[in-house]
């Protein structure tokens, strides 16, 4: 069973990501939720996740800061960042920092599934 960390500070966002997991065959994953970046970072440092799904703008550490810290400490879990901000500059910054993929809200199941399929196994 996959261990997935969802980093999202809104109830709607959490529900959307859980629904996407269900729609892409990961509904039975062991999912941990963090509503702020610092809590997410503490969880990441204290455990092993197969995948991290993070909103870019969460309280505490941002999604970008989580990616930067994870890569600096060689944490191997792929981090997919989800954002409503559609600027190409932000997407490039996130990918350069080490994000595995950047998805835009509202995220469609097909886009989510494509991003997951492209992740290293």
Q: Domain residue spans in the chain?
A: 11-115
Q: Give pLDDT, residue 1.
A: 77
Residue 84 CA to residue 16 CA, distance in Å, equals 13
For every one of its 121 residues, what pLDDT tens digit does the chain have, with 9 covering 90 and above? 799 999 999 999 999 999 999 999 999 999 999 999 999 999 999 989 999 999 999 999 999 999 999 999 999 899 999 999 999 999 999 999 999 999 999 899 999 999 999 998 6
> Distance from CA of residue 9 to its chain's centroid?
12
Q: Give pLDDT, residue 117.
A: 93
To the question of domain 11-115 being in CATH 3.40.50.2300, the answer is: yes
End-to-end alpha-carbon separation of the chain, Å? 14
Whole-model pTM over 0.85 = yes
Residue 33: strand, helix, or coil = strand
Q: Give pLDDT, residue 44.
A: 96
Q: Give pLDDT, residue 91.
A: 96
Cα distances (angstroms) measured from residue 71 to each of 43, 64, 75: 15, 11, 6
């Amino acid at each position: 069973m996959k261990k997935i960390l969802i980093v999202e500070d809104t109830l709607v966002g959490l529900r959307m990501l859980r629904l996407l997991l269900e729609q892409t065959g990961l509904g039975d994953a062991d999912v941990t939720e963090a509503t702020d970046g610092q809590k997410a970072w503490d969880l990441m440092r204290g455990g092993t996740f197969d995948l991290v799904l993070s909103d870019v703008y969460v309280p505490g550490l941002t999604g970008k800061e989580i990616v930067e810290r994870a890569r600096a400490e060689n944490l191997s879990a792929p981090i997919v960042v989800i954002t409503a901000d559609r600027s190409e500059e932000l997407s490039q910054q996130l990918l350069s920092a080490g994000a595995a993929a950047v998805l835009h809200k509202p995220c469609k199941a097909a886009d989510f599934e494509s991003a997951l399929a492209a992740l290293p196994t």
